[in-house]
Every structure is written in structure tokens, then in C-alpha cells.
Amino acid sequence: MSLDTVGLIIGLVSAFTAILSALFAWKAVRVAERTNIAGLIAELHQLYRSETNFHATQKVWELYRQFQENPEGTPISYQQASEFVSSANEASEEWKAVHDTWVYWSYLALLVNNGFINDSLAMSGAFGSKAILGFLYPVEKAFINYKGMKYDYDTSLQKLYELWTVKSKKKL
């Protein structure tokens, strides 16, 4: 066997080993991504099922019903949201409930907007009724405007609400 043949065989074996290593590395990355996503989903579900979130969500539904007799996701008006925000006592249990519920839904929106959770999973019933966004996103918008902050649609609950309404209409 000539030196050229030996070199060719060693080169082919090295190339095959490199390709095999790259495949294993790619598979390991995919498994790590799926594990991280599963962890995020588990954390989100645990947060959803927490007693604090349960009571906060119930309180927000009560507030929503004060503006809409049958709150099925129809947004409250910006004026109603502004009046609610401007008259709210930020130390009250009601405001704490709105804040806690807003944080939960903002976390879900963050995961969706950054591609950690796909739209279909986020819009499934696994994480609660998206109809509550009809109260939360106008309040979020009014609060941010009331405080003189910049309202960023791409990270807001309004974007999540609109995604939900589009997905809901497709099911009909």
C-alpha cells in the first residue's frame, strides 16, 4: 500500500468521523433545546396552577365583569382602562391581582415572542383562558401611557391578544 493510499484512507476516516461528530453534536443541541423548552413549559404551568395566580386571576375576572357583563375576550375601551388605572390604588389587593396576572401573561407573551413556545401551544387551553387579555391588554396600555412610558406593541399583551383572536377565528 502506498503512502498516498494510506493518506487517502486516513483522510476519509477523519472526514467520516468529523461528519459523525457534527451529527451527534447537532442531535445533542436539539435535545438540549427541547429539554429547555420543556422546562419553560413546566415552569409556566406551575406558575399558572399556583394559588397566588389562581386568586389573582379570579379577582381580575371580577374586575373585567364590572366593565363587561359577559367577558368573552372583548376588550374594554381605552377610556375604561384609563379610568381604572387613574383611580386604582397601587397598594390595593385589586391592583396586586392585576399586576400578578399581567406578569403571568407577560411571561407567556415573552416565551411566544422569542420563539420558545410556538403559537399553537401558547393558544391552547393549557395556560388559561386568553379571553382575560381583553381586560389586561387595555389596562397594560393605559398604565404605560399613564406613567409616561413607551408602549412597545411587539412585547405587549395586545400582540398576544391579537394572536389569540386570529387563532380563535381560524377554528370557527
Q: What is the pLDDT of residue 56?
A: 95
DSSP assignments along 94-109, one per residue: HHHHHHHHHHHHHHHH
Q: What is the pLDDT of residue 26?
A: 93
Which residue type sits at 145?
N
Q: What DSSP designation does 151 have?
A: P
- Cell numbers 422569542 correspond to 114
Q: Where are the domains of the chain?
A: 1-49, 50-171
Q: Is 45 helix (H, G, I), strand (E, B) or coil?
A: helix
**pTM for the predicted model, two decimal places:** 0.78
Q: What is the pLDDT of residue 172?
A: 47
Reference 59, options 96, 107, 109; nearest CA is 96
Per-residue pLDDT in tens (0 to 9) along the chain, 172 residues: 788 888 888 899 999 999 999 999 999 999 998 898 888 888 888 888 899 999 999 999 999 999 988 878 889 999 999 999 999 998 999 999 999 999 999 989 988 888 888 888 888 877 888 999 999 999 999 999 888 887 777 778 999 999 888 877 665 4
| Spatial distance between the Cα atoms of 104 and 128, rounded to a whole number of angstroms | 10
Q: What is the CA radius of gyration of the chain?
A: 24
